[in-house]
Amino acid sequence: MARLNWGMIGGGEGSQIGPVHRISAAMDGLFTLAAGALDIDPAKGRDFAQRIGIAPGRAYGDWRAMLAGERGRPDRVDLVTVATPNATHYGIAKAFLEEGIHVLCEKPMTVTVEEAEDIAATAQRTGAICAVNYGYTGYPLVRHMRAMVARGELGRIRLCVVEFSHGFHADAADAENPRMRWRYDPALAGLSGQFADCGIHALNMASFVTGENARELSADFLSAIASRKLEDDAMVNVRMDGGTRVRLWTSSVAVGSFHGLNIRVFGEKGGLRWAQQWPDQLHWTPLNGRAQVIERGAADSPDAARATRIATGHSEGMLVAFANIYADLAEAIHARREGRAPDPAAGHYPTAADGLRSIAAIKAAVDSAAQGGQWVDARPPSLRR
């Protein structure tokens, strides 16, 4: 496939997520980083963009200048990644979608359900792709779990237990660190802190693997560091639309947990267990049978095979998972240009509908926690039946 032109907004020098996107997007040679507005400080953003190879004329001071500069160019960006604070996602994504430019937006897609509804509607109306970076769904064995569930190997799914816990925000003395402070500031993060930051990764993972979506939920929020306006720990029970129950815990004050994204799926015929810190092994226990370890590279599904890059026994990780999302998007963009159906194994990038469901779940969790854990409808208005 010919290289696509790619642009990035945010993710500048010192960013945690910016380098991950740049490395992952470049991994397969499918994208060229052609334009960027990388920092809230225009001068810093332009300087850094040029230092990483963006031409001076396409190293923009802000996203509005980037939109104006790319508009009408024969070689304009095909895809733009939005990696800015949560409250800015809606305006940026909306503007580029209106220009017919495909978008990969960091999660959460927006901060309100109304904004998310509009983004989903805009993507449908314009025909531009709006994907949301639930990058962990790019892991080969996560895709194999999904395939096993879809094939009925677990039977009816009864229960899914997911968590995303870490302890990197547990020091109250470090609460004013700019890299973490914004995550608990409603003006920048929105309605929710930890659930919106990490919990929706866990919920999206449960939906991705089981093929079901949240119908209603009950939440308990905690601000373990009292100065925080938003929660840094949450426990959420979810009733999915296919009958599965999800137990979800997320925390940023779990000292000793480094990147605890884990999922366990329990069905009538067996159970699965996967942890992001050990991504190349999937534990499968058939009912009344012996536990087995499925190694990445030996999983019998085309979805896992397409997402596997190196031989079994050599570790793959987050960069490859994100690269799989970019590869899926490249295939989808080329398929649209060529008027053909995309490769079915490449159809797993998270969409605006996934982003919309996440925002609705955040709002429901905030409302439930405020009502002492009352069950609240977790579906976005447009997707209620």
Q: Is there a contact between 328 and 106 (Cβ–Cβ < 8 Å)? A: no
Q: Is there a contact between 32 and 7 (Cβ–Cβ < 8 Å)? A: no
- Name every residue whose Cβ is closer than 8 Å to that of residue 287 and which is 6 or more positions away in sequence: 268, 269, 270
* Burial (0-12, 13-18, 19+ Cβ within 10 Å), 264: middle
Q: What is the mean pLDDT of residues 196-216?
A: 97
Q: How confident is the model at residue 313, as a pLDDT?
A: 80
Does this model's pTM top 0.75? My answer is: yes
Q: What is the mean pLDDT of residues 336-349?
A: 90
Output the DSSP codes for 295-333: ETT----HHHHHH--S-TTS---HHHHHHHHHHHHHHHH
Residue 385 clears pLDDT 80, i.e. is over it: no
pLDDT tens digits along 44-63: 999 999 999 999 999 999 99
Q: How confident is the model at residue 301, as a pLDDT?
A: 82
Q: What is the mean pLDDT of residues 284-312?
A: 90
Peptide bond into 186 cis (omega under 30): no
The runs of H, that is alpha helices, within the chain are 18-26, 42-51, 63-70, 89-98, 113-126, 140-150, 178-181, 186-189, 194, 200-210, 302-307, 318-338, 352-370
Q: What is the mean pLDDT of residues 306-310?
A: 87
Q: Is there a contact between 10 and 82 (Cβ–Cβ < 8 Å)? A: yes
Which of 165, 170, 181, 167 lies closest to 229, judged by CA? 181
pLDDT tens digits along 29-39: 999 999 999 99
pLDDT band at 314 (very low <50, low <70, confident <90, very high): confident
Q: What is the mean pLDDT of residues 16-41?
A: 96
Q: Is there a contact between 12 and 39 (Cβ–Cβ < 8 Å)? A: yes
Residue 347 clears pLDDT 80, i.e. is over it: no
Q: How confident is the model at residue 175, as a pLDDT?
A: 80
Q: How confident is the model at residue 346, as a pLDDT?
A: 85
Q: How confident is the model at residue 70, as a pLDDT?
A: 98
pLDDT tens digits along 213-266: 999 999 999 999 999 999 999 999 999 999 999 999 999 999 999 889 999 999
Q: What is the mean pLDDT of residues 163-179?
A: 90
Q: How confident is the model at residue 210, as a pLDDT?
A: 98
Percent of the chain predicted with pLDDT > 70 = 100
Q: How confident is the model at residue 188, as a pLDDT?
A: 84
Residue 299 clears pLDDT 80, i.e. is over it: no
Residue 164 clears pLDDT 80, i.e. is over it: yes
Q: What is the mean pLDDT of residues 118-128?
A: 98
Q: What is the mean pLDDT of residues 267-289?
A: 97
Residue 345 clears pLDDT 90, i.e. is over it: no
Whole-number average pLDDT of the chain = 95
Q: How confident is the model at residue 270, as a pLDDT?
A: 98
Percent of the chain predicted with pLDDT > 90 = 86
